[in-house]
Structure 1
Amino acid sequence: MPGLIGKKIGMTSVFSADGKNIPCTVIEAGPCVVTQVKKVDTDGYEAVQLGFGEKRENITPKPLQGHFKKAGTTAKRKLVEFQGFEDKNLGDVIGVDIFEEGEWIDVVGTSKGKGFQGVVKRHGFRGVGDATHGQHNRLRAPGSLGAGSTPSKVMKGMKMAGRMGNDRVKMENLQVIKVYTDKNLIVVKGSVPGAKGSYVLIEK
């Protein structure tokens, strides 16, 4: 499906026609440059590679410098392939005007990393609710992990402490509230995964 590479700016809120305050996310969507066109006869499938975000040429590898020079553009920081575009050539610029106010989109991002977390924060365990009945230091403990003799192991999928966040998350069916073509910004209803300034993929 067609889409754009964007950068999460932050959150705000807008008022709807009936006076409701709607939480929204502002995304800088594009402009993206077509850096490669994949075709069935040469690559086995059809897709368009888009580049977004400026990058200094002296920190860009030589093969990528030639890749961008062939497309007639400067070095880009983020490269992503999209399918569904038609009649696009090397060097074409795709802007935020491909989106319309009121339509529904999907946004893919990387969630904030939380590091190593316990079961209360990671899985919502309650812990031991009453600290006065002999519960010394078990308030946030996971409790039993399974039977002893049989099966004598911890089963796969057991909810335990571990790394939390920093995962690829896809938010589906977010409504486009506003499109600012002069500033390359779109305002979508709801939240988008990731920190401010992180890259996101916007799919139609």
Structure 2
Amino acid sequence: MQKCIVGKKIGMTQLFDENGKVIPVTVVEAGPCVVVQKKTIENDGYEAVQIGYGDISDKAINKPLKGHFAKADVAQKRTLKEFRLEDCSSLNVGDIIKADAFAAGDAVDVAGTSKGKGYAGTVKRFGNHTLKATHGSGPVGRHAGSNGACSSPSRVFKGKGLPGHMGDEHVTVQNLAVVKVDAENNLIAIRGAIPGAKGGVVCITDSVKA
């Protein structure tokens, strides 16, 4: 069965394996999540499940969402995420998904929103080289340089690395390993780093490369 869950990034720490080797891990508070809606081919043209995570007060939610949760007869949730699973029929509206859906050794993909860096130049954004920091380099040591030829093609090619907004975008890190699952506290320890800042919402699914 294909698995999915929504959680919150707690932060990074380290664990030790049976040989005493240190393993860097990111701890995620995963679930409990509830299935809020099922998309079907007959009604929507595709199959998917919508799951909710994180409690929210009654005054912090609008009327359309209140009706959405009331129709499903489930508790109101702060975050809603949709997953296209291969076997959506195995899940029903109202089912609870907990951290124990995953086990140590599972290969997972983790998606989240990366940290926003604001307006950044080409050196930080794309790794461009700088000019030599010596006499004569002028005040343009970190600029983007030439944008292209003048008369032909008389334009800047698409994809040219220029200064602009960096970060704060949807990022997926693939094929990470689950090191430990604490079902009692709804915690999953995933080897390595995952996108986003502490407290950010992340989606964990079975790895597409496993």
Instruction: Tell me which interval the TM-score lies in, with the shorter structure as reference length.
Output: over 0.9
1:45 Cα deviation after fit: 2.3
Alignment RMSD: 1.4
Give the stretch that moved more between structures: 32-41 or 168-177. Answer: 32-41
- Mapped to 2, the partners of 1:15 and 1:40 lie a distance apart of 46
SS of 2:70's equivalent? helix
Question: Which consecutive residues of structure 1, in runs of 5 or more, have no partner in the other structure?
Answer: none
- Work out the percentage of aligned pairs sharing the same amino acid: 48
1:112 alignment partner in structure 2:
115
Paired AA for residue 167 in structure 1: E
Aligned pairs for 1:102-141 within 5 A: 102-132=105-135, 134-141=136-143
1:2 Cα deviation after fit: 3.0
1:56 alignment partner in structure 2:
57
Aligned pairs for 1:55-204 within 5 A: 55-82=56-83, 83=85, 84-132=87-135, 134-204=136-206
Paired AA for residue 88 in structure 1: L
1:39 alignment partner in structure 2:
40
- Mapped to 2, the partners of 1:137 and 1:43 lie a distance apart of 57
Paired AA for residue 160 in structure 1: L
Paired AA for residue 155 in structure 1: F
Q: 1:44 to 1:148 in 2, by over 3 A?
A: closer
- Mapped to 2, the partners of 1:13 and 1:194 lie a distance apart of 18
Report if the CA contact (8 A) 1:33-1:91 is conserved.
yes
- Mapped to 2, the partners of 1:18 and 1:118 lie a distance apart of 45
SS of 1:86's equivalent? helix
Q: 1:31 to 1:147 in 2, by over 3 A?
A: same
Question: Which consecutive residues of structure 2, in runs of 5 or more, have no partner in the other structure?
Answer: none
Report if the CA contact (8 A) 1:2-1:85 is conserved.
no
